[in-house]
Amino acid sequence: MKKLSIFVLSLIPLVANASNDVTQLEGSFKVGPAIILIFILSLFILVGLLFRAKDTTDYYAAGRGISRVGSGMAIASNWMSAASFLGMAALMYGTGYHGLSYVVGWTGGYVLLLILMAGQIRRYGKYTAADFIGDRYYSKTLRTIGAVIAILISIAYAVGQFGGIGLMFKWVMGIEYNLAVIIGGSVVLAYTLISGMLGVTKNMQIQYVIIISSFMIPLFLLTFKFDYFWLLPQIGYGSAVQDIVEGIQISEKSGLMNSLGHHFAIVPSPEYAMPWDPSAGQTFFQWMAIAFSLMIGTAGLPHVIQRFYVVPKARDARWSVVWGLFFICLLYWSAPVYSALGTILSSNPEVGTLSPDAIVVYTAQLGDINPLIVGLLAAGGVSAAFSTTSGLLVAGSSAFAHDLYVKVINPMARPKTQMLVARLGTLLMAVIITIIAMVDLALIAQLVAIAFSMAGCTIFPLFLLGIWWSGSNRAGAKAGLIVGGIVTLISLTYLVGARGLGVAI
Amino acid sequence: MEKNDYRISFFKPTTQQARKNRNLIIKLFVVWAVAIFGFQILLRIVEKPVPEEALITFSPAWENIEMGNASHSDYQAIAQSMIQVMGKITIKPDDYAALKDGTGWALSKVYPEDELPDLEQDVRHLHELRGQITSLQDKEYLETKELIISKAAPALGIGEGTLLAQLLAIGLDDNLQLLAEENKEKIPRIMSLYLTHNRSFLTDTVFLGFPFHYFYSAVFLLVFFVGLCWIYCYRTDKLHAKLNFLEQID
């Protein structure tokens, strides 16, 4: 029955190149995945046009007319970036249990966000993070600094996304990475400029459906094919983790192969699951520090906080976090499945060194899943990067146009001028992000973690104390920003320096 | 409350609603922190470095080799252990190269000396083919691999149809007799690094197929976070209804 099912699945018409007759997983232009990708991107632009921003309220905060579940989906889509879709599995593929610190940090932070921030932020009725900071601390300087930090965070975060878009475009089109970054970046820029936040929010709901379906479908197929409990792969892969720890002999799963013709077998590899394993080069302290900084970073990211301005009431803001977190967790429960199966499928040294950031796609490819479904997966990755990037560009341009231009430079600016400045800001940011993405500084998730560190050190304390402690004042906020800025600068210097010296981070 | 009223103190709430909200936040925060960090601290406290079986076999055999009284079975034991490490996904290229060197050298100690040049020739041929083929299923490539396995695996006490045999075929260099001094020094450290793991009852207990600690962090905590958020919203709604508390509406 099982063989029959696999046979039936393989009868789906193939348009794309099969991968089982080459020694490398990357190659030339893949027609099927390219068609899927173009279709999905066209859909985004169409929705963007249909729901495009008509005025500044629409552009910044989607007219405050989005439902709780819809907002939850938008939160999830906005959140589930290339770092979640591609980077999560990449981290666990390379560092095993250590990668779970990112899963725990990125989801646990939502509890903080909810109980400490979400409802309260909505209650103050601001548009942007800098709005709140400027008004709360009665300071134009702090507003300006807040806006600049929001822009920097958006840029740091978006660099990882552009990297993810570049990787997927490279895989689909068989072109060079830098060119792929430029093409992918141009498409996301065009779309954001056309639609603004209202289109983005509507799109985010569609994007969520695409992201989660494209991520789940290959999981059912893979767990079914390799004899794990496929009805609920998020639990079924537990046996795969245990198999990695204990090893799988060829005789145990005889007949099961990867697309390159290697047996579904692996030597005992406890380092995959054991905590802070010496061979992974990560320590207990790093696990705790990463989880903690990602948690406070989550609660301080301007583009995440900004989502709470788009729900009608504080109560809706709270419930949208519950929905958002649930939708996010659907993906985070699933990402380790790719990592576990990818570890087994690529364990033969003949497979060679794979780019961890593309392990999700490689796992499906090595599992000999229909190329069209692999294409859908790649399109999901692009979609994840798209949804976050467009949100980031809007948050960054809002800070640029609303917080810097209107509130500081030209308070008398007409709405039309504001829109123009917002769009110019978006364009400028996209150019900067593209250039940095081409440098290929680190893994996608690590790049994104920089944005979290920055948000955790700067925006989070200003919001937390500003909301909950009437004694917090302008001088304290400035001092906090200086210290937070220095800490961030040190970590950035370390990252860039380590990259320059070729040291692993 | 006014929209822009910032006169709030978490620790000195002025209304009943604010007081109850603060208490709820503190309770949830404590539970949240203990569930995340408390568990990892417990994991750290109870863990012990435990060697894999391959290291337990490797260490005495390597000692015998260093003392110059090694037997065939010692060379077989270190080769098998090294091949096992070469199959690990996390192995770094430098470490792989050192173990490759060591495995070939161990093989040369147990392989008939007069047949070694033939075997080295086969390995060389395999490497040449690897650079030319477009498919890993290439017939000649597979046949050469099988030929190497049929010659080398029995000498190392490895079954021909096993995973170790597959790894052996691609894990040999073409100068079997030579082991670089630098690699000889590195090998025990490499073996210890890749074959020692932090384990405890939390990692060795299997739950729903998972090692328990892995299940806790990868699955349970996420369910728990959604649950905490749900509890907060539900309790807040109930509290607001009970106190007839109206939130700011634009």
Task: Please report how many Cα atoms fall inside a 13 Å half-sphere around the Cα of residue A93, on the Cβ side.
Answer: 29
Beta-carbon separation of A104 and B36 below 8 A = yes
Distance CA A167, CA A177 (A): 6
Nearest Cα residue in chain B from A319: B233
Distance CA B178, CA B29 (A): 61
Beta-carbon separation of A115 and B29 below 8 A = yes
**Structural domain range at position B233:** 16-47+201-243
Beta-carbon separation of B233 and A125 below 8 A = no
Beta bridge partners of A313: B249
Q: Tens digits of per-residue pLDDT, B12-31?
A: 787 888 889 889 999 999 99
Beta-carbon separation of B199 and A261 below 8 A = no
Beta bridge partners of B249: A313
Distance CA A276, CA A250 (A): 29
- Please choose, from the candidates A185, A180, A179, the residue with its C-alpha nearest in 3D space to the C-alpha of residue A161: A185
Beta-carbon separation of B214 and A273 below 8 A = yes
> Would you state the pLDDT for residue A338?
94
In a domain, B3, yes or no: no
Beta-carbon separation of B194 and A271 below 8 A = yes
Same domain, B25 and B125: no
Cβ pair A471, B11 in contact under 8 A: no
Same domain, B226 and B149: no
Query: Residues of chain A whose pLDDT is less than 50?
Result: 1, 3-24, 59-64, 504-505
Cα–Cα distance list, B223 to A326, A469, B201 (Å): 8, 31, 23
Pick the residue of A274, A286, A463 with the most B CBs within 10 A to test the interface with B by mutation: A274
Task: Write down the number of H helices and E strands in chain B.
Answer: 12, 4
Same domain, B211 and B151: no
Same domain, B232 and B118: no
Pick the residue of B6, B91, B94, B246 with the most A CBs within 10 A to test the interface with A by mutation: B6
Rounded to the nearest angstrom, the minimum Cα separation between A368 and chain B is 15
Distance CA B240, CA B24 (A): 13
In a domain, B7, yes or no: no
> Would you state the pLDDT for residue B37?
96
Distance CA B81, CA B63 (A): 14
Nearest Cα residue in chain B from A245: B211
Beta-carbon separation of A467 and B136 below 8 A = no
Q: Where are any strands of DSSP class E within A234-343?
A: none
Q: Can you read off the two tokens belonging to residue A404?
A: 């810097």
Task: Please report how many Cα atoms fall inside a 13 Å half-sphere around the Cα of residue B66, on the Cβ side.
Answer: 12
CA A142 from chain centre, in angstroms, equals 29
- Please choose, from the candidates B92, B210, B87, B204, the residue with its C-alpha nearest in 3D space to the C-alpha of residue A280: B92
Q: How many residues does chain B have?
A: 250
Q: Where are any strands of DSSP class E within B111-205?
A: 196-199
Place of tokens 């090694």: B70
Q: Which amino acid is located at A354 in the chain?
A: L
> Would you state the pLDDT for residue A505?
43
In a domain, B124, yes or no: yes
> Would you state the pLDDT for residue A382?
82
Distance CA A478, CA A493 (A): 22
Cα–Cα distance list, A383 to A61, A82, A162, A388, B16 (Å): 21, 8, 12, 9, 46
Is residue A45 within a helix (H) or strand (E), and if so which, with residue range? helix A31-50
Q: Tens digits of per-residue pLDDT, B33-85?
A: 999 999 999 999 999 999 999 999 999 999 999 998 889 999 999 999 999 99
Q: Where are any strands of DSSP class E within chain B?
A: 48-51, 196-199, 206-207, 210-211
Q: Can you read off the two tokens belonging to residue B168?
A: 């052996």
Would you tell me how many other CB atoms lie within 10 Å of the CB of residue B78? 30
Distance CA A166, CA B47 (A): 41
Cβ pair A424, A171 in contact under 8 A: no
Same domain, B117 and B206: no
Give the helix, strand, coil percentages of chain B, each rounded to 5: 70, 5, 25
Instruction: Pick B229's closest partner by Cβ from A103, A238, A321.
Output: A321
Same domain, B24 and B148: no
Q: Is the pLDDT of residue B145 over 90?
A: yes
CA B230 from chain centre, in angstroms, equals 35
Give B86's pLDDT tier (boundaries 50, 70, 90).
Answer: very high
In a domain, B249, yes or no: no
Beta-carbon separation of B209 and A275 below 8 A = no
Q: Is the pLDDT of residue B204 over 90?
A: yes
> Would you state the pLDDT for residue A218?
94
Cβ pair B174, B124 in contact under 8 A: yes
- Residue A67 carries which DSSP code? -
Domain count, chain B: 2
- Residues of chain B with Cβ-Cβ distance to A276 below 8 Å are 44, 198
- Residues of chain B with Cβ-Cβ distance to A267 below 8 Å are 84-85, 87-88, 163-164, 167
In a domain, B153, yes or no: yes
Cβ pair A153, A363 in contact under 8 A: no
Distance CA A381, CA A211 (A): 7
Same domain, B111 and B76: yes
Nearest Cα residue in chain B from A466: B6
In a domain, B123, yes or no: yes
Q: Which amino acid is located at A290 in the chain?
A: I
Full-model pTM: 0.86
Cβ pair A362, A34 in contact under 8 A: no
Same domain, B179 and B131: yes
Same domain, B58 and B129: yes
Distance CA A48, CA A432 (A): 24
Cβ pair A90, A353 in contact under 8 A: no
Is residue B144 within a helix (H) or strand (E), and if so which, with residue range? helix B139-155
> Would you state the pLDDT for residue A56?
52
Cβ pair A254, B3 in contact under 8 A: no
Distance CA A298, CA B176 (A): 54
Q: Is the pLDDT of residue B150 over 60?
A: yes
Would you tell me how many other CB atoms lie within 10 Å of the CB of residue A171? 25
In a domain, B11, yes or no: no
User: Which residues, in sequence order, are CB contacts of B123 under 8 Å at separation 6+?
Assistant: B148, B172, B173, B174, B176
Same domain, B42 and B70: no
Q: Can you read off the two tokens belonging to residue A445?
A: 């998730």
Would you tell me how many other CB atoms lie within 10 Å of the CB of residue A388? 29
In a domain, B86, yes or no: yes
Cβ pair A389, A47 in contact under 8 A: no
Distance CA A73, CA A67 (A): 10
> Would you state the pLDDT for residue A40?
80
Label the pairing between strands B210-211 and B206-207: antiparallel
CATH topology (fold) of A26-501: Sodium/glucose cotransporter (1.20.1730)
Instruction: Pick A238's closest partner by Cβ from B88, B209, B230.
Output: B209
Same domain, B120 and B26: no
Nearest Cα residue in chain B from A276: B198
Distance CA A338, CA B130 (A): 28
Task: Please report how many Cα atoms fall inside a 13 Å half-sphere around the Cα of residue A362, on the Cβ side.
Answer: 28
Task: Write down the number of H helices and E strands in chain A.
Answer: 22, 0
Same domain, B160 and B172: yes
Q: Can you read off the two tokens belonging to residue B58?
A: 């490797």
Q: Can you read off the two tokens belonging to residue A382?
A: 């692009």
User: Which residues, in sequence order, are CB contacts of A204 under 8 Å at separation 6+?
Assistant: A73, A74, A77, A78, A387, A391
